[in-house]
Structure 1
Amino acid sequence: MLISTFQQEFVEAGCDEAGRGCLAGPVFAAAVVFPPDYCNALLNDSKQLSEKKRMALRPIIESEALDFAVASVSAEEIDSINILNASYLAMHRALDMLKTKAAYIIVDGNRFKAYQDIPHQCIIKGDGKYLSIAAASILAKTYRDEYMDNLALDFPSYDWLSNKGYPTVSHRKAVLEFGITPHHRKTFRISDPQLKLF
């Protein structure tokens, strides 16, 4: 069962990112603050939910959260600072956008770059344990998917409507056949193991 908060006495923000393992497109991140003792039996890690369920939950999260924000870091920025630092930057940007100053931050995963002077806790598989992180994973994923769907209209050869920029076989074949677009992360070279087709 997912629970509401890690530290009940704090105004707590849950953070997660989406798109870290992609060949193309930005990395997105979200920060979500729920009321104390918030409950929602449908919330779960975005990877465990269908696209339809994620999209149904998004307006519920946005209306029931005390505060939320979604931010991104471009492919160009990712190439400049690397994907790990870009993931931290996306989460920091989301936290910057919150109207409610968090006193505590919980983050999915095992690493995070400290944000201002606010204490934080990294939680492995936190998107399956804490509601605010699960909600952040859903917002980051749905906003990023929409962004990639819009890009796909101008770059149909790369199948971004289906793969959202992840290194599927069809995407990797398209890179080898058509080359990269301005939205590809150039630090993923053709010789990169992620681009091996067989």
Structure 2
Amino acid sequence: MEHKSIAQVKELFETSEITEEMLNTLSSDKRKGVQQLVRTYLKKQRARQEAEKMFVSMTRYEQSGYAQNYELIAGVDEAGRGPLAGPVVAAAVILPSDFKLIGLTDSKLLKHSERVTFYKQIKQRAISYGISLVSNEKIDELNILQATKHAMYHALKQLHPQPDYVLLDAIQLEKLQYPSKSIIKGDQKSISIAAASILAKVTRDQLMNKIGKEYPQYQFSSNMGYGTKQHIDMLKKHGATPYHRRSFAPVRDAVSRSLGGD
């Protein structure tokens, strides 16, 4: 292929199915530009293979469930337990047994653009999904753990059909009516939990972006309600918004100061 220009070889890598014979021929091409293209291609192939292996590994809990004759396996996860403002959001999702989405993992490990792309694909391809949020007022009333569980139960109730087995990310739901398994770092070990984490995270980010337009000084669209230095500084300067969790210490302290407390 030495008669092809570097630009033509690049287009070949981008638009064609590269066979082993073609790759061997290109690997023997002495031009530095071609060698760089070959190295880049091989690196991407290795990354793809690793992602394939990771995806297969992340199906082991689902496969174990299918082997026990469970057919509708739901993954459940949340977003927003730690922030000082905004709701906590939970999602539940049942994926088809042949579901495949290479690169799927814990939403926190993905770029924003990847999360949004996966969010759309998961919603389109899921057997069923449910998304539930609990407001900051309810969080203050119940405490964050109970509010999270409340959101998870409601997300599960939205599933039609209902699951016969549930995978949870490091939490116990004592009132479930079906068998379940709690997995430490489940959003990195189960595709169902990872899918739920993406639905919850993207939904919550959309809500925080909307709130951020109402209170731009807090920069909710970038900090998502978490206690960054800038966020804490704005709390000290302006006090709490209606979306802040007053049961959380930094917010409680800011409210106390604004009321003239110690």
Q: Same fold (TM over 0.5)?
A: yes
C-alpha contact 1:176 1:190 (8 A) present in aligned 2: no
Classify the secondary structure of the residue corresponding to 2:91: strand
C-alpha contact 1:27 1:86 (8 A) present in aligned 2: yes
C-alpha contact 1:14 1:32 (8 A) present in aligned 2: yes
Superimposed CA distance per residue, residues 147-187 of structure 1 (whole angstroms, 9 cap, x where no aligned partner): 00001111011110100101111111111110001100000
Q: Which residue of 2 aligns with 1:133?
A: 193
Shift of residue 115, structure 1, vs aligned partner: 3.6
Distance in 2 (CA, whole Å) between partners of 1:182 and 1:146 is: 18
Shift of residue 41, structure 1, vs aligned partner: 1.2
**Alignment TM-score, normalising by the size of structure 2:** 0.71
| Partner amino acid, structure 2, of 1:87 | T
Pairing 1:175–2:231 present: no
Q: How many residues align?
A: 192
**2:129 aligned to which of 68, 71, 78:** 68
Shift of residue 192, structure 1, vs aligned partner: 7.1
| Partner amino acid, structure 2, of 1:71 | S
Q: Which residue of 2 aligns with 1:196?
A: none
Q: 1:51 to 1:191 in 2, by over 3 A?
A: closer
**1:7 aligned to which of 65, 70, 81:** 65
Distance in 1 (CA, whole Å) between partners of 2:131 and 2:234 is: 30
Shift of residue 37, structure 1, vs aligned partner: 3.6
Pairing 1:78–2:134 present: no
**2:118 aligned to which of 57, 79, 82:** 57
Classify the secondary structure of the residue corresponding to 1:184: coil
| Partner amino acid, structure 1, of 2:185 | K
**Alignment TM-score, normalising by the size of structure 1:** 0.93
C-alpha contact 2:240 2:251 (8 A) present in aligned 1: no
| Partner amino acid, structure 2, of 1:134 | A
Shift of residue 190, structure 1, vs aligned partner: 3.4
Higher radius of gyration, 1 or 2 = 2
| Partner amino acid, structure 2, of 1:3 | T
Higher relative contact order, structure no. (Cα contacts within 8 Å, ≥ 6 residues apart): 1
The alignment's C-alpha RMSD in Å is 1.5
| Partner amino acid, structure 2, of 1:153 | K
C-alpha contact 2:235 2:251 (8 A) present in aligned 1: no
Q: Which residue of 2 aligns with 1:88?
A: 149
**1:163 aligned to which of 217, 223, 227:** 223
Which stretches of structure 1, 4 residues or more, deviate above 3 A after TM superposition?
Answer: 190-193
Shift of residue 116, structure 1, vs aligned partner: 3.4
Q: Percent identity?
A: 41
Larger mean CA deviation between 111-120 and 155-164 belongs to 111-120
Q: Counting helix residues as a fraction of each chain, which structure ranks higher?
A: 2
